[in-house]
Structures are given as C-alpha cells and as structure tokens.
Structure 1
C-alpha cells in the first residue's frame, strides 16, 4: 500500500478515528495529509496512517498534544535519511526512552484501575446471584 493515497474516510475506518478527530489532528499539525486531490480532498499515505495510530495509542495514556508532537518529531528525525551525529541520535533515543517509561507507568496505573473495576463488577455479580 506504500505510495497509494487514501481518502479520509478510508483512513478513519482503518484507524477507528472519527473524521472530526483526524481533521483536528491536522489542524494541530500532528498529521498533515500527504496530498490533496484535484477536487481538494485530503489524501493520506500509509505513513500518515501509522502516525495516526501512534497518536491513537498515546491518547488513552494521557499524553498531551505537545508530547505527541514531540515524540513524532523525534521518530521522524530518527527515520529520516539524514545522517545524525552520535550525540543527536542519542538525544533522540533518550526522548523515546522517556516516553516509553511514561507509557509503562500509565499502563501500570490502568492495570490497577482495571483490577479494581473487575473486582467491583464481581462484587455486584455475586450480590445478584
């Protein structure tokens, strides 16, 4: 699918994000359509879809739009064909590590919340029997 363009409806279906949410991410500069059709329709690539998936995964973990932008910037720079000096590369990798650690912390908090919710549901189920 590399090189092919998709309209926003297909991207919404693939990412399970609403059209409104995708447009919002465009307005904030997180994901900009790679092209526009002659009729002015937004056209996205597989790379754009992958960026949206990163954002979709970050959102429930409580990351801000600025943090999403920072992470995407770091990954873009690491993935670019530009040659990075060792110091710059290490700085970018350190940024990624900090986001990974923050994600681990948020996942741990969510696991605790889920366990409490399951316990509560079990209490209610037992009471109804």
Structure 2
C-alpha cells in the first residue's frame, strides 16, 4: 500500500498499481468534538462561540454559531469559517473566510460539533440565510 502526495491510497500487487479506489487520507488533529468524535482535516464542524457583549444597558451573554472546515494554516489547526449558522449578537467576532486557530477558542472540544466532511457533504458549506 502506498499513500501518494495527492493523499490517495494506492495498492500495488507487484504487477500493477490500482488507483481506482476513491479513498483520501486525512490528518487527525488530536481533538474530539462535544460528542467524542475524532476531528480530521477536511471535516465540517459547527462551533458555538459564546461571549459577552457590552453596551450602555450592561453586559449580555451572546452566542454565534459558525460552520466551517477544519484546515491547517501556518502550522496551526483551526476552522476556515464558511458561514454563520445562527446568532443573537449585534456584532460577530468572526466572518466568512476568516481562519480561526483552535487556540483562540475558550474550549473548542466542548463547543464544537462534527457535521460531516468536505468530500461527502460539501453542501453543508453552501451559503444559507439565517
């Protein structure tokens, strides 16, 4: 068995290489989601960002849900945000196409849910209205 630079698995029987299997190898990032599912590069996750919003009326708890794909950027794993799935905030901390490393989140493993992956569920990344 060989893993090519394209991430595909090739089987070699000594005579010919078979590359007709549609298999991609993804990198485990060492984290799980809130349900204990392992997270890999290429997975689609929803992250619930809980924060405080300050105004003249005081402090209010707010929450925004982001949908994005898990990527590695400059040596850090994080989420490439595709869209906002819900919000009750007036100002969002992150926007579509932002890369947010997991180290910026308070507790990513308890606030993140695996939804699918970019290979089997690309429709999850489509723009949708709230």
Q: TM-score range by the shorter chain?
A: under 0.3
Q: TM-score, normalised by structure 2?
A: 0.24
Please identify which structure carries the higher helix content: 1
Provide TM-score, normalisation by structure 1: 0.25
Q: Which one has the largest radius of gyration?
A: 1
